């Protein structure tokens, strides 16, 4: 009986091993179904790594013609892209900029994560059915979403898992695995700022808890340590070139590090943050303010059933390891170090999911082992049943996601409803073929970074501008007839009520699932009387308004045009952050009439970064003729002061000021922060 039982188990193991190629192929095909449709839409954050990789290749491996071989790249924040850009270079050279290239890379990273987890389960935990982990991964909506999203989050999770696996190989099987461990560590370190945190925590725990083992093999240890330190040189050069980056990152740490209060209060907040990051309830909750922010509709990021398997997995893991070493504690604790440094973010906490997969896989293996003993030989159906249930749930989620993803995105982020960027630029390319002389004025609300998507889908098309509709409404633009507009519903309403255009000619309309219009590609034509309409509006805005203010210890009557940002007292309040902004009036004309004469030898203005011309006219009490003075300034990186000294000290009763931006039209706004009169 024992021999028959052992033979049966071996036969079952061999049968499961034979399934492996089909399992891996099925896993890849499963994740690749409807790849363009879900996640919806293709995001600028996904396009950025390939765009940056192309920039490196075309600019001699200098990013924006600056640092050569930069360690990191800035998309939204410093250090938010790194090794992903370099890893995508070969696919970019081979296949070009394609959606499936960047999302397919995420699928490959997901597949490798599963493979490394199964090897940990098989080689180091002795699980009989390690490949169950693949089916666990295929049934977790959050992982399916991340595996199909072209971002650094899945690479961070994959590199973290590889680092753990190859460290175990080095620690228990072969010292030569230290090279692969080092490579995995460096990929993790250079993924982004969060990868640095994760890798450094791992490295320190490994170093401290296994120091005796390392020192016994000091040759391998010292060579590896030296290789790691040399590999940090790109990071050091990057920080030297951009020294403010690390300061900004440290300043963006968890709010508890920047709050006042007692040490006990700070520690308590840190503990709460740590528990919040580790808490699986966050992942198993229905989408809400505290749940992971994925557009998953009614699905939980982590199925609720798995929530009850996690503590069982921890218990079995403790029983498997008689003497826990560094890797075990890193496996459980290092992903949640994020919670000590910043508020809980599901994308940044994605590295905790492989830990969950391993623990759930341990529980399912134990469950399968117990049932196998109870049911003896009647277990041939059990393994396929478990796989079928998990895979069936994953397929059901994926089918619902592909069918309803637009509604989920709209519900998840209603203020930033996005449309298919590939379709937008495909339409522009088609239009460009028939109208090569056209320019394009696009609304930017359909994406956070439309310029990146422009480079990805239509880098060969020039003449694309964003959010410039007001320039065509506030002034007569001769290039209107040569411009194609992409307008949202708000802008379309603005065009209709402006009474300046003929009825827009709509070439294409993008709609929500309920049929309501969202965006329009349109051609616009001015009405014949447009010049008189524009001039009448401009005259109305230029018409002086009068306000009496307290300034320099007296009442002063101020005359100024229509303001979009004010009040007028912002000019004299001594606050360099407050300002006025004209309501599409250029130049800005100001008149100050003093109730009592003042002494004046110099006038100081705080203006913006644009090139400005400033003119003043003073009315001395001892003369009937006004005196004129002026000063010109070029563009600058930030706000700047303009000083206009007078010939001598005058006593005046009236001051006139003109601030003009000659490089823009008369409907451009003028910004002015402060005016200071020096006696």
Q: What is the pLDDT of residues 548-568, one digit of tens each?
A: 999 988 999 999 999 999 899
- Tell me: pLDDT of 420 over 50: yes
Q: Is 658 helix (H, G, I), strand (E, B) or coil?
A: strand
Integer angstrom CA distances of residue 498 from 286, 529, 534, 586, 592: 44, 13, 10, 21, 34
Integer angstrom CA distances of residue 75 from 72, 243, 398: 10, 17, 29
- Of 163-167, 248-252, 416-420, which one has max mean pLDDT? 163-167
**Phi and psi for 587 in degrees, rounded to 5?**
-85, 170
- Tell me: pLDDT of 289 over 70: no
pLDDT of residue 255: 53
- State the Cα–Cα distance between residues 419 and 519, nearest whole angstrom: 9
Using pLDDT thresholds of 50, 70 and 90, give the confidence band for residue 526: very high
Using pLDDT thresholds of 50, 70 and 90, give the confidence band for residue 415: very low
- State the Cα–Cα distance between residues 452 and 422, nearest whole angstrom: 12
- State the Cα–Cα distance between residues 123 and 142, nearest whole angstrom: 27
- Tell me: pLDDT of 650 over 70: yes
Average pLDDT over residues 159-172: 90
Integer angstrom CA distances of residue 302 from 112, 294, 312, 393: 20, 11, 16, 12
Integer angstrom CA distances of residue 368 from 15, 379, 574, 575, 630: 16, 9, 75, 71, 87
Choose the weakest-confidence range: 42-46, 110-114, 124-128, 324-328.
Answer: 324-328
pLDDT digits (tens, 9 = 90+) for 255-284: 555 555 566 666 666 566 555 555 555 555
Average pLDDT over residues 465-474: 87
- Tell me: pLDDT of 110 over 90: yes
User: What does the mean pLDDT of the chain come to?
Assistant: 82
Domain map (residue ranges) of the chain: 2-38+101-412, 421-528, 534-678
- Superfamily grouping for domain 534-678: Galactose-binding domain-like (2.60.120.260)
Q: Is 547 helix (H, G, I), strand (E, B) or coil?
A: strand
Q: Which residue has the higher pLDDT, 614 or 227?
A: 614
Q: How far apart are the first and last CA of the chain?
A: 109
Q: Is 98 helix (H, G, I), strand (E, B) or coil?
A: coil
pLDDT of residue 4: 42
pLDDT of residue 238: 83
344, 359, 294: which is closest to 144 by C-alpha?
A: 294
- Tell me: pLDDT of 124 over 80: yes
pLDDT of residue 125: 83
- State the Cα–Cα distance between residues 137 and 152, nearest whole angstrom: 18
Using pLDDT thresholds of 50, 70 and 90, give the confidence band for residue 293: low
Q: Tell me what percent of the residues of the chain surpass a pLDDT of 70.
A: 81
Alpha helices by DSSP H, 321-420: 326-333, 337-341, 352-375, 382-412
Pairing of strands 439-442, 483-488: parallel
Average pLDDT over residues 57-81: 79
pLDDT digits (tens, 9 = 90+) for 315-371: 777 777 655 555 566 565 555 555 555 454 556 667 778 888 888 888 888 887 777
pLDDT of residue 548: 95
Q: Which residue has the higher pLDDT, 293 or 585?
A: 585
pLDDT of residue 220: 80
The number of C-alpha atoms within 13 Å of 261 and in the hemisphere containing its C-beta is 13
Residue by residue, DSSP assigns 198-246 as HHHHHHHHHHHHTHHHHHHTHHHHHHHHHHHHHHTHHHHHHHHHSTHHH
- State the Cα–Cα distance between residues 242 and 233, nearest whole angstrom: 14
Average pLDDT over residues 643-671: 91
- Tell me: pLDDT of 440 over 70: yes
Alpha helices by DSSP H, 459-543: 469-474, 489-497, 530-542
Integer angstrom CA distances of residue 536 from 448, 469, 539, 543, 669: 36, 19, 5, 11, 17
pLDDT of residue 80: 83
Q: Is 324 helix (H, G, I), strand (E, B) or coil?
A: coil
pLDDT of residue 41: 78
- State the Cα–Cα distance between residues 518 and 638, nearest whole angstrom: 37
Average pLDDT over residues 636-650: 91
pLDDT digits (tens, 9 = 90+) for 472-484: 888 888 889 899 9
* Geometric angle at alpha carbon 413, from 303 and 42, rounded to 5°: 85
Contact 556, 550 (CB under 8 A): yes
- State the Cα–Cα distance between residues 107 and 296, nearest whole angstrom: 18
Integer angstrom CA distances of residue 548 from 184, 593, 618, 651, 673: 69, 9, 19, 21, 19
- State the Cα–Cα distance between residues 457 and 272, nearest whole angstrom: 44
pLDDT of residue 275: 56
- Of 310-319, 372-381, 525-534, which one has max mean pLDDT? 525-534
Integer angstrom CA distances of residue 647 from 500, 618, 629: 48, 12, 9
Using pLDDT thresholds of 50, 70 and 90, give the confidence band for residue 411: low
- Tell me: pLDDT of 8 over 50: no
Contacts of 515 (CB under 8 A, 6+ apart): none
| Full-model pTM | 0.79
pLDDT of residue 462: 86
- Tell me: pLDDT of 291 over 50: no
Contacts of 355 (CB under 8 A, 6+ apart): 331, 332, 335
């Amino acid at each position: 009986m024992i021999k028959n039982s052992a033979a049966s188990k071996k036969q079952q193991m061999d049968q499961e091993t034979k399934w492996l190629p089909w399992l891996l192929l099925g896993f890849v095909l499963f994740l690749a179904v409807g790849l363009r449709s879900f996640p919806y839409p293709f995001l600028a954050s996904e396009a950025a790594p390939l765009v940056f990789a192309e920039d490196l290749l075309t600019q001699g491996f200098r990013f924006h013609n600056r640092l050569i071989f930069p360690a990191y790249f800035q998309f939204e924040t410093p250090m938010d892209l790194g090794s992903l850009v370099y890893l995508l270079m070969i696919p970019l050279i081979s296949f070009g900029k394609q959606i499936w290239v960047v999302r397919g890379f995420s699928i490959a990273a997901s597949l490798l994560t599963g493979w490394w987890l199964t090897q940990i389960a098989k080689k180091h935990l002795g699980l009989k059915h390690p490949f169950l982990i693949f089916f666990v991964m295929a049934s977790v909506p959050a992982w399916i979403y991340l595996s199909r999203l072209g971002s650094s989050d899945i690479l961070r999770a994959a590199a973290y898992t590889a680092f753990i696996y190859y460290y175990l190989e080095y620690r228990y099987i072969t010292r030569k695995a230290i090279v692969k461990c080092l490579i995995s560590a460096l990929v993790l370190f250079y993924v982004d700022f969060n990868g640095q945190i994760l890798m450094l925590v791992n490295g320190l725990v490994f170093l401290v808890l296994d120091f005796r083992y390392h020192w016994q093999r000091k040759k391998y240890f010292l060579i590896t340590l030296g290789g790691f330190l040399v590999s940090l040189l790109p990071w050091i050069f990057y920080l030297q070139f951009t020294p403010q980056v690390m300061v900004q990152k440290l300043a963006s740490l968890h709010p508890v590090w920047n709050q006042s209060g007692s040490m006990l209060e700070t520690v308590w907040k840190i503990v709460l943050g740590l528990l919040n990051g580790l808490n699986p309830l966050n992942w198993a909750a229905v989408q809400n303010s505290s749940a992971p922010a994925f557009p998953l509709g009614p699905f939980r990021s982590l199925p609720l059933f798995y929530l009850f398997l996690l503590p069982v997995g921890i218990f079995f893991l403790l029983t498997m390891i008689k003497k826990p070493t560094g890797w075990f504690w890193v496996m459980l604790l290092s992903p949640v170090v994020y919670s000590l440094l910043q508020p809980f973010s599901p994308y940044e906490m994605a590295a905790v999911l492989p830990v969950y997969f391993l623990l759930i896989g341990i529980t399912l293996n134990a469950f399968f082992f117990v049932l196998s003993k109870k049911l003896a030989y009647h277990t041939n159906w059990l393994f396929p049943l478990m796989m079928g249930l998990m895979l069936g749930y994953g397929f059901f989620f994926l089918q619902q996601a592909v069918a309803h993803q637009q509604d989920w995105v709209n519900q998840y982020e209603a203020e930033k409803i996005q449309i298919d960027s590939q379709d937008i630029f495909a339409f522009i390319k088609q239009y460009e073929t028939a109208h090569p002389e056209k320019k394009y004025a696009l609304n930017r609300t359909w994406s956070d970074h439309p310029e990146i998507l422009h480079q990805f889908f239509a880098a060969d098309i020039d003449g694309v501008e964003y959010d410039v509709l007001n320039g065509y409404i506030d002034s007569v633009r001769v290039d209107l007839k040569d411009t194609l507009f992409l307008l949202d519903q708000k802008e379309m309403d603005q065009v209709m009520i402006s009474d300046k255009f003929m009825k827009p000619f709509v070439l294409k309309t993008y709609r929500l699932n309920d049929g309501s219009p969202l965006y329009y590609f349109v051609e616009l034509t001015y009405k014949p009387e447009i010049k008189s309409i524009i001039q009448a509006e401009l005259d109305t805005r230029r018409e002086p308004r009068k306000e009496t203010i307290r300034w320099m210890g007296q009442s002063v009557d101020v005359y100024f045009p229509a303001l979009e940002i004010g009040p007028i007292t912002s000019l004299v309040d001594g606050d360099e952050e407050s300002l006025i902004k004209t309501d599409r009036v250029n130049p800005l004309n100001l008149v100050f009439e003093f109730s009592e004469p003042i002494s004046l030898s110099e006038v100081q203005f705080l203006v913006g970064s644009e090139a400005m011309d400033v003119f003043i006219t003073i009315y001395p009490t001892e003369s009937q003729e006004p005196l004129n003075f002026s000063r010109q300034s070029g563009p600058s990186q930030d706000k700047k002061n303009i000083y206009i000294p007078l010939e001598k000290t005058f006593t005046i009763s009236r001051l006139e000021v003109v601030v003009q931006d000659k490089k823009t039209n008369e409907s451009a706004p003028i910004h002015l922060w402060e005016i200071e009169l020096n006696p």
